[in-house]
Amino acid sequence: MSEIAEFTRHLGHYLAPPDVALVERAFEYSESAHRGQFRKSGEPYITHPLAVASILSQWRIDAQGLAAALLHDVMEDTSVTKTEIETTFGRPVAEMVDGVSKLDQIEFTSTEEAQAENFRKMLLAMARDVRVILIKLADRLHNMRTLDAMSPANRRRIARETLDIYAPIANRLGLNALYQELQDLSFKHLHPMRYRVLSAAIKAARGNRREVMNRLLDAIRDGYHKAGIHASVTGREKTVYSVYKKMREKRYTFSQVFDIYGVRVLVTDPTSCYAALGVLHALYKPIPGKFKDYVAIPKANAYQSLHTTMFGPFGTPLEAQIRTHDMHRIAEAGVAAHWLYKTHGGVDLAEAQRETHRWLQSLLEIQSESGDSKEFLENIKGDLFPDEIYVFTPKGKIMALPRGATAVDFAYGVHTDIGHHCVAARINYELLPLRTELKNGDHVEILTAPTARPNPSWLSFVATGKARSRIRHYLKGLQQKESAALGERLLNQALATLKVEPDAVTWDRWEALAKEYGAKSQLEILADIGVGKRLSFVVAQALTRTPGGRGDEGAAAPAAKAGALSLRGVEGVAIQYGKCCRPIPGDRIVGHFRKGQGLVVHLTDCATLRKQRVDAAELVDVEWASDVQGVFDAGIRVLVSDRRGLLADLATAIADADGNIDAISMEKPDGAGVIAMFFGVQVRDRRHLAGIMRNLRRIPDVRRVQRART
């Protein structure tokens, strides 16, 4: 094939002869494995791996990466195994091929789950070796370039996946040229008619603008020449998708978007960037608020440039990007610049590589704390689609966060322990709540307390994957710990019913039971009891039966009745108090197991519990301990005559009885002189609630006071 000869000739420009020989061997192996296979377009299948390797060679990827690219489909589409590849080409090549191969052996319950799992595996493989994702992205690029051979439905599906997943990854890795081409190709197949219309409009508009653009470039070049600044000035063309996106997001017409002229200025060093900016601003007036300095504060993908928008000739906006030649190389090639420019002197890629490595390592940490693929994908979406802001730590260090990030995101960005124990934030030296959304340039200091811990409500406003995964991981651990404590109490009750001391159950018996149940530990069995996944008396019977005897999960409960479970009011997340009936100490209560949620305490005559027709096996006898602690939510309904200042009198009466109001609502029937009011109050027990209600009845305008259980 003439293509392979031309390809290897190109490789000779940057690879040593032994490396070129390795790539040639990989091509021969792949061609032999794929012989007789054809693409949908009718071409021999080997043309695809060769095209992928050719794309990668433009980034000067090493010989191992090119060999893996040529072999990337042999494990999926042929009988070749990973062991055979490792024997022939070495372990690194085999690991890369394995990382790129699709996961078609796994059975999924839904398309979304399959996509999420594929995505998770791909990112984890990438975290181990970034060449895996470069091969995957080159593979996707060639597939998108040849997508016309697929059916319309498949074209739309693949284009949507590319736009949602692969293009953002390319952007996150700084592969700007690849990012833009993937976006344009996806747009072309998702909205073919819109793509054709916009492409034709852009082509026509470029012809009309050429003369104005040339005059503009000449004026800027002349300005730099007079200032003694060596600069390369070129026009910057908009992509089809970027025009479409701006029209959609800003509600602009095509002429509004395309009336903006763009130039790119390349200079020799960072200091010259600012000098070049000064010359531009002397030529054309800058638009206030439209300047961004990504040279002093680089983006998370190591992108650096000065961005400014000015009033150009004839009043049309003029956008400019100013950067050094080295910054331009990194801006276009991103993480691939590590290979592409490592032989060139003067290019400092260390920070770009460190940023990429930090991000990839954070993916591994998030994965270890995410329960499943969908949760992992949800946790990192904010990191893949960042519209970034930059804030400062108390020591002046810059931290990049996605737009919408809060003080909690910042706390977890500093350190996990800071996040776990944060209680408030000092933003620009002003004390503000943790849910406060951060803005560009904010100075942020986090206040912590040793006793503080993550709140489940934080999950509703955090924006970073790191914060979300850390909070969820902590809460899962906390729930298991508290559920296990409740499970142990329930099990001890059941053992007492069987007249067995808990200490009499040996460690060997626990280990045997864990093996029988397929549980990891005694803690897991106790936690399962605490959240209602296992019945305490069944576990008690299993622990006390003679070795070798058979247990029966469906066995009836023992005839003897266990003593009621004692509640002290401080059990945490494992025990919850029903919002439907608001039980407080002194009420007659019953416990109901809701599978996976733990024990929910209700009033014995709770209407909601009656409607649910709960099975008796799910109910647990509970009672209030003599030393109940804490406060409990209760409700009071009050019917009052309407008059000025009444609400203040009612609030004072509740406060005088040492009650705390946490909710108020009122309703006034049309034409009536009375108001129906509801107070949510926090009380210690029934006697405390009765005292509050007595105080309310003493107010002359109060007609009726009653406890509201719903």
Q: Which of 19, 77, 524, 649 is catalytic?
A: 77
Question: Are the C-beta atoms of residues 464 and 419 closer than 8 Å to each other?
Answer: no
Decide: 444 and 426 in contact? Cβ < 8 Å.
yes
User: What's 599's DSSP letter?
Assistant: E
Q: Please give the Cα distance from 70 to 57 (Å, whole number).
A: 12
Question: Do β-strands 422-427 and 317-324 pair in parallel, antiparallel, or remain unpaired?
Answer: unpaired
Half-sphere exposure for 608 (CA within 13 Å, toward CB) = 14
Write the DSSP assignment of 670-690 as a string of letters.
Answer: TT-SEEEEEEEEEESSHHHHH
Give the DSSP letter string of 613-648: T--GGGEEEEEE-TT--S-EEEEEEEEEE--TTHHH
At 184, which amino acid appears?
D
Q: Write the CB contacts of 248 (distance below 8 Å, at least 6 apart in sequence).
A: none
Residue 458 near residue 421, CB atoms below 8 Å: no
What radius of gyration do the chain's Cα atoms show? 34
- Can you tell me the distance from the alpha carbon of 426 to that of 408, in angstroms, rounded to the nearest whole number? 12
Outline where 78-149 has alpha helix (H): 82-89, 91-100, 111-128, 131-145
Question: Strands, E, within 268-316: which ranges?
Answer: 292-293, 306-311
CA distances to 52, 156, 358, 538 from 71, rounded to whole Å, are: 10, 27, 29, 55
Partners of residue 702 on adjacent β-strands: 640
Count of beta carbons in the 10 Å neighbourhood of residue 412: 26
Return d(Cα 602, Cα 622) in angstroms, integer. 10
Helix axis angle, 176-190 to 240-250, nearest 10°: 70
In order of 334, 595, 629, the CA distances from 579 in angstroms are 53, 17, 19
Region of residue 334 (left: phi > 0; alpha: psi -120 to 50; beta: else): left
Q: Is 102 exposed, middle or buried (0-12, 13-18, 19+ CB in 10 A)?
A: middle
Tokens of 525: 């069995």
- Residue position matching structure tokens 């040279």: 295
Could you count the other beta carbons within 10 Å of the beta carbon of residue 281? 14
Alpha carbons 439 and 407: distance in angstroms, whole number: 10
Tell me whether residue 365 is one of the annotated catalytic residues: no
Considering the candidates 24, 31, 76, 259, report the single residue annotated as catalytic.
Answer: 76
Q: 362-369: long-range contacts at Cβ-Cβ below 8 A with a sequence spacing of 24 or more?
A: 362/465, 362/466, 363/123, 363/124, 363/126, 363/127, 364/124, 364/127, 365/466, 365/469, 366/465, 366/466, 366/469, 367/120, 367/123, 367/124, 369/469, 369/470, 369/472, 369/473
Residue 76 known to be catalytic: yes
What is the distance between the alpha carbons of residues 223 and 284, in angstroms, rounded to a whole number? 11
In eight-state DSSP terms, residue 443 is: B
Helix (H, G, I), strand (E, B) or coil at 581: coil
| Strand partners for 417 | none
Residue type, 86: E
Residues tagged active-site: 76-77
